[in-house]
Amino acid sequence: MLDKIKELIGEVQAFTTTSKDEIETFRIKYLGSKGVLRDLFAEFKNVPNEQKKEFGQTINLLKSSAEEKVTSLKEALENVTEENGVYGDLTRPSEPMELGARHPISIVKNKIVEVFSRIGFTVSEGPEIEDDWHNFTALNLPEYHPARDMQDTFFIEKNPDTLLRTHTSSVQVRYMEKNEPPIRTISPGRVFRNEDISARAHCIFHQIEGLYIDTDVSFADLKQTLLYFTKEMFGKSKIRLRPSYFPFTEPSAEVDIYWGLETETDYRITKGTGWLEIMGCGMVDPNVLKNCNIDPTKYSGYAFGMGIERIAMLLYQIPDIRMFYENDIRFLNQFKSVL
């Protein structure tokens, strides 16, 4: 009989579970009114006198072991329940990390950079806080030049020679100062102009400008480069160049692409003409080359520039430029599938 009780003690000490029902079944089996211990205590009267002491101690050990086991298992179960209440089910898989989306301006900028990189253009960058020389004077815009009024400028207080750049042409000036021809570079970046904010204009926007300088560069080279770009970027193969004016290029032109009149949207965005203006361009003025220590009798070049927001608005039919800067998650989530 003693061997059987010791065997039961081993079973009790080895028992484990995380089920509330199994703990209760275990308690009833050993400590219930009809359990194992009740039967053993009933058997106590039949034990010989010389074994009663050892028999009683062994039964009490079984009882205390069973009670301690029930208590410890219930406490462990309560602790797990409490943790689950605070943290949820700790055994479940973790929540997947939600993927973000590139901003449409970054998507379009990267695409433009990729298109021009195929024909040898490298990326150059420069400071957003610029000086008068690189932003204006070197670009054939000396002090009091009337064309300066075309770009309402944010000047840095207490320093009239320091300003927020109004175009990324200043990056091209810095690049020409540090590099000898041949030069083939594009300059993306953020620019600032003191303009009223509306659906079509903003005081902060992004430009990307291109520059190519070498011997015997002609306007025909510029036109072929722009035709290549419009085919790759928009899938459009028809462009036109209209005479225009920019202080740092001569001759200068505005570039239009034929968008078409196939849908009602086409009529609306082209005002019924089928043509859309996308950028300005021209041959680099010899004075700009001189200011950057490049011999205009030996070298010539072309330059072009476009607003990234305007290109993005055309590609994705975005009606309001302010949407780019409001950080509305509903707007940004639309570009998750765009590389």
Contact between 153 and 164 (Cβ < 8 Å): yes
Q: Which residue has the higher pLDDT, 171 or 5?
A: 171
pLDDT of residue 184: 97
pLDDT tens-digit profile of 249-262?
999 999 999 999 88
Q: What is the pLDDT of residues 29-46, one digit of tens each?
A: 778 877 777 777 777 677
Binning pLDDT at 50, 70 and 90, where does residue 143 land?
confident
User: Over pLDDT 90: what percentage of the chain?
Assistant: 49
Q: What is the pLDDT of residue 60?
A: 78
pLDDT in the model for residue 80: 65
117 three-class SS: helix
Average pLDDT of span 224-253: 94
Rounded CA-CA distance 310/205 in Å is 9
Per-residue pLDDT of 176-192, as tens digits, reads: 999 999 999 999 999 99
**pLDDT at residue number 339:** 58
What are the residues whose beta carbons fall under 8 Å from the beta carbon of 138, sequence distance 6 or more? Answer: 173, 288, 291, 292
Q: Which of 138-147, 186-195, 257-266 has the lowest mean pLDDT?
A: 138-147
| 43 vs 122, more confident | 122
Query: Is the predicted pLDDT of residue 239 greater than 70, yes or no?
Result: yes
For 81-101, how does the pLDDT look when each residue is reduced to its tens digit (9 = 90+)? 555 555 556 677 776 777 778
Q: How far apart are CA 278 and CA 254, in angstroms?
A: 8
Residue 207 neighbours by CB distance under 10 Å? 23
- Rounded distance between C-alpha atoms, residue 281 and residue 330, angstroms: 36
What is the Cα gyration radius of the chain? Answer: 40
> Looking at residue 233, what is its pLDDT?
94
Q: What is the pLDDT of residue 151?
A: 63
Backbone φ and ψ for 120, nearest 5 degrees, come out as: 95, 5
pLDDT greater at residue 182 or residue 51: 182
> CATH 2.60.120.620: does it fit domain 104-335?
no
What's the pLDDT score for residue 57? 77
